[in-house]
Amino acid sequence: MRNLFAFLFRYHVFFVFILLEIIAVGMLIQSHYYQASRFASSSNAWSGQILEHFRNSTDYFSLKKMNHLLAEENALLKNRIQKSAMQISPVKKGQYEYISAKIIKNSYNKRNNYLTINKGSMHGIENGMGVCINDGVVGIVRDVTKHYATVMSVLNKNTVISTRFAKSNHFGELLWDGKSHYFAQLHSIEKYVDVSVGDSLITNSFSSIFPEGITLGTVNRFQRDETENFYTIEVDLSVNFGNIDYVYVIKDMLKEERLELESKQNE
């Protein structure tokens, strides 16, 4: 027993090192599980508050630009109301609720980017909700606390967005290769599909995260490799991640109904 203690004491630095590394790598591995709740994220109360205070104090520099953007958006939405009043079918009416939120932490130059917003479970935000701005898709809500939430940006290796061409129904998956925050990559588009530069991509109705028809971007470049069955397509993202302040979180009122129905198929 004494030898054991002597041994432990002699190499205690190494053991402390191994223990701490196991904790750190454990956190990293846990972060790859989508549903697990994570304590160590910027949505927790005190770090959220610090980030929010700092963001508030730097906000004054962009007030003018923000006013302009909001005015433009208002005009666009007014137009859309008029148009859609005639189109929306009564069943779908009110299916989606939009919750506006302010970004208090933004990042777009890491391999895995997360944003933090100033709304949380208190305002009805839940894990897995879609986040967008007027121009397009921003990401998916991940960790939620009472007052804050983190958003897994489109610019993250773990984000996959189901998308389709606006002109046809061919669908694929949007992923990000980590190189430029202006471009993402579209996968799983088969070679027989007709693709041209400038084709716009929108969200499809396969998942209950986003409503159908939110813009993602346009085809910037594509390549047809003879040895592969799929195109390599580069998408010019419509959202400029370096320049977003306010976002909308999308709440699907019929999500549970849909998930319940879909889960019956698996039984």
> Comparing C-alpha atoms, which of 139, 144, 236, 134 is closest to residue 183?
236
Q: Which of 38, 102, 187, 255 binds another protein (CB under 8 A)?
A: 38
CB distance 220 to 236 below 8 Å: yes
204 lies in the binding site for another protein (CB under 8 A): no
Residues in the interface with another protein (CB under 8 A) total 42
Rounded (5°) CA angle 219-223-226: 150
Tokens of 103: 């970004």
- 97-126: contacts with another protein (CB under 8 A): 105-112, 114, 116
Of 9 and 192, which has the nearer Cβ to another protein?
9
> Comparing C-alpha atoms, which of 104, 142, 132 is closest to residue 245?
104
Contacts of 147 (CB under 8 A, 6+ apart): 45, 48, 118, 119, 120, 122
159 lies in the binding site for another protein (CB under 8 A): no
Residue 229: CB minimum distance to another protein, A: 19
150 lies in the binding site for another protein (CB under 8 A): yes
Q: Which of 7, 10, 26, 76 binds another protein (CB under 8 A)?
A: 26
Euclidean distance between CA atoms 176 and 131, whole angstroms: 17
Of 80 and 110, which has the nearer Cβ to another protein?
110
- Per-residue mark of binding to another protein, 44-63 (x: CB under 8 A): x--x--xx--x---------
Euclidean distance between CA atoms 145 and 51, whole angstroms: 15
The interface region with another protein, picked from 40-48, 77-85, 195-203, 252-260 by CB under 8 A, is 40-48
User: DSSP characters for 19-65?
Assistant: HHHHHHHHHHHHTTSSS---SSSTTSHHHHHHHHHHHHHHGGGGHHH
- Per-residue mark of binding to another protein, 235-254 (x: CB under 8 A): -------x------------
Tokens of 144: 């939620």
25 lies in the binding site for another protein (CB under 8 A): yes
- 161-200: contacts with another protein (CB under 8 A): 177-181
CB distance 204 to 164 below 8 Å: yes
Q: Which of 6, 8, 27, 76 binds another protein (CB under 8 A)?
A: 27
Under DSSP, is residue 91 helix (H, G, I), strand (E, B) or coil? coil
Residue 24: CB minimum distance to another protein, A: 4
Tokens of 222: 């594509």
User: Which residues contact another protein by CB under 8 A?
Assistant: 12-13, 16-17, 20-21, 23-28, 30-32, 38, 40-42, 44, 47, 50-51, 54, 105-112, 114, 116, 150, 157, 177-181, 242
